[in-house]
Structure 1
Amino acid sequence: MTATPAPAPERQAFISFARGLSMFSIVLYHFLLYVPLPPLLAKANQIGGAGIYIFLFASSYGLYYSRISSWKSFYLSRFKKVLFPYYIGITVIFIVNQFLALYPEGWPAYLSHLFLYKMFYGPYMESFGPHFWFISTIVQFYLLWPLLRALDQRLPTPTLLAVCLAVSLLYSVLVFRLGVQQERIWCSSVIQYFWILALGMAAARHNWIPRILQVGLLRHAVLLVVGLGMSVLVSVVFGPEANIFNDYFMFIGYFSGCVLLFLVGQQLSFIVRSMLWLNTFSYSLYIIHLFIFILYLKALAKTSISLMEVPVVMALCIVLALLFDKLVSQLTDISFGRTQPVLRT
């Protein structure tokens, strides 16, 4: 397999920023679900959850530049970077849960995480934390990555994007017609996101990021409003049952908002620096943030928090995520040997 040159620094800076921002918004979204917000703000909070689309886009973009000598080495690398930290995190959560009873699940659910069959069994899909559905999607993504790369090498980019978009749309229609759009094993299948993964590959292959950044603030502001506006319209006209079709519009709105913040951050550099820093341990933060939050609620015997507590909980999770990231790094070095830093994907 041939190696693909690493992206230029300016391209990688935006992707790293986007990953950091998406993780920050996802964590904030989860915390705000426990805050009694006015209806309009509660609805607006849903935008934060759309960060997961950017994370998928960035993962596909980054993987396009990964140096793959063999598929065996590729999957070993994915195991070390994704599954091994996840196994450490879920094991810590499981052990603590034996003493504090934070979650109702036990050994069967824990084993479903270790052996990855929870992605096919609804009751375990969100066990030990509703955010763990995303791990199943990422695993599916990696399993299908050879197919996506083969399609990318054989099809012109417009054809690739059209095929993947058609597959995702047909799958969305199928899920909607079956009435299972609220079930994670269906609505969060990687097939639902084929078009995002293809878009990430195309952006990497054709160096689209610099051109996207040059489009201008006004146009991205319009796309932000149109994307989010269409998402609201779909929900209002067709009801929450049609939210599975919102992915397409939410991605446009969120991505444009991400570009706007990145461009503004060129003048307010602390914004970009903060998100770039957060990206360096974003996966660790994702794994443990809800666990830390539930521990916080348990310690204070609460079921909700005030808006003023959100920065406190966020800071606590960031500190503990840094410690967890350090632990994972050390255990990875012990288990697999020290490796040179590589492009995060």
Structure 2
Amino acid sequence: MKQLDIINFLRGYSIFTIVLMHLLQSYPIPSGLMKASSFGGAGVHVFILCNGFGLYLSYLNKPLSYQAFLKKRFGRIYWPMAIVCLVTSCWMLYQGQEVLMPLLGNLFLFKMFVPELESSMGGQMWFISTIIQFYIAWPLIVKLININRGGYWIALFISLSWATIVGISGLSEERVWNSFFLQYLWEFCLGMKLAELYRERPSSLDIPKWKYLVPTCVTAMAMTGIMGWAGFP
């Protein structure tokens, strides 16, 4: 179906922009290009929204028990991540770097609570922690989104409150705090609400005509660029 093709495209596009951003920022490039490449960070938000959409649409079509859900979803992320970490640890050993705690932290998942370990095997590895946190909290999130008329707004309030607390506490630069799943709960739940809307009335998510879509995309990209130049994360 067209809408699901769009979701798959958005997932792939967001992954591409994130990878491109990390690739460019690993090299000495002009400051202007460095700021422009940060646009790829928006892919994280798009991916989380699409993840909420896909997970909840699948749940609505075929509800799974919590155990079955974790087995199906957790395994898809954990085992590839574990293989990557094992290969990375071999390279780290070759480079003479400390391996034991970073490897254990990633394999046993406690690195998501230890700032020094959160990005120990690559700056991109924080995202695995965030997605796994969503999986662990899945039953609670489903209950939250099903609160009559108020579930999404509660999720938005939780995310805003978490971001405020982290900012006031001076922890906004710590990955374990600024990338905790509550930070992104509102957009994950927005994806769930879109899945609910799509299931009830698929035509409601028809893609707008290009004459509406293109100006909207250009405007959104321009606003993102302006915020980046202004110093917003």
Normalising to structure 2: TM-score of the pair? 0.88
2:208 is aligned with 1:214? yes
Task: Confirm whether residue 179 of structure 1 aligns to residue 179 of structure 2.
Answer: no
For structure 2, the residue ranges without an aligned partner over 5 or more in a row are: none
Q: Is residue 11–residue 209 contact of structure 1 (8 Å, CA) maintained in 2?
A: no
> TM-score under structure 1 normalisation?
0.61
Match of 1:266 in 2: none
Deviations 1:256-278 (A, max 9, x none): xxxxxxxxxxxxxxxxxxxxxxx
Unaligned runs of 5+ in 1: 1-8, 244-345
Structure 2 match to 1:95? 90
8 A contact 1:172–1:192 mirrored in 2:
yes
Change (3 A) 1:78 1:209: farther
Paired letter, 1:109: P
Deviation at 1:116, TM superposition (A): 0.6
Give, in whole Å, the separation in 1 of the partners of 2:120 and 2:108. Answer: 14
> Which residue of structure 1 aligns with residue 24 of structure 2?
32
Q: Cα 1:230–1:48, aligned 2, differ >3 Å: closer, same or farther?
A: closer
Aligned partner of residue 125 in structure 1, secondary structure:
coil
- Deviation by residue 1:160-211 (Cα, 9 ceiling, x = unmatched): 2221111111111111111111110111010000111111001111017853
CA distance in 1, matches of 2:189, 2:161: 16
State the shift of 1:142 in Å. Answer: 0.6
Q: Tell me which of 63, 76, 93 is aligned to 1:68.
A: 63
Deviations 1:89-129 (A, max 9, x none): 1112112322244xx33101110111111011000000010
The Cα RMSD (Å) is 2.2
CA–CA separation in structure 2 for the residues paired with 1:149 and 1:217: 36
Rounded Cα–Cα distance in structure 1 between residues aligned with 2:163 and 2:56: 26
CA, structure 1 residues 16+223, in 2 after alignment: closer, same or farther (shift >3 Å)? closer
Aligned match of 1:117: 110
Residue number among 63, 73, 80 corresponding to 1:78 in the alignment: 73
Aligned residue pairs: how many? 227
- Superimposed CA distance per residue, residues 14-42 of structure 1 (whole angstroms, 9 cap, x where no aligned partner): 01101111111111111111333332222
Q: For the Cα contact (< 8 Å) 2:11–2:47, is it kept in 1?
A: yes
- Does 2:197 match 1:203? no
8 A Cα contact 2:3 2:207, kept in partner: no
Q: Which residue does the alignment assign to 1:192?
A: 183
* 2:112–2:129 Cα contact (<8 Å) kept: yes
Contact 1:203 1:209 in 2 (8 A): no
SS in 1 for 2:146: helix
The alignment status of 1:127 with 2:120, answered yes or no, reads yes
Question: For the pair shown, which has the larger CA radius of gyration, 1 or 2?
Answer: 1
Query: CA 1:50–1:150 in 2, change beyond 3 Å: closer, same or farther?
Result: same
Q: Is the 8 A contact 1:19 1:54 kept in 2?
A: yes
Q: Does residue 138 in structure 1 map to residue 131 in structure 2?
A: yes
For 1:68 and 1:216, the matched residues in 2 are separated by 36
Report matched runs for 1:170-319 at 5 Å: 170-207=161-198, 211=205, 213-214=207-208, 216-218=210-212, 221-222=215-216, 224-226=218-220, 228-229=222-223, 232-233=226-227, 236=230, 239-240=231-232, 243=233
Partner of 1:166: 157
The equivalent of 1:285 in structure 2 is: none
The answer to whether the 8 Å contact 2:74/2:135 transfers is no
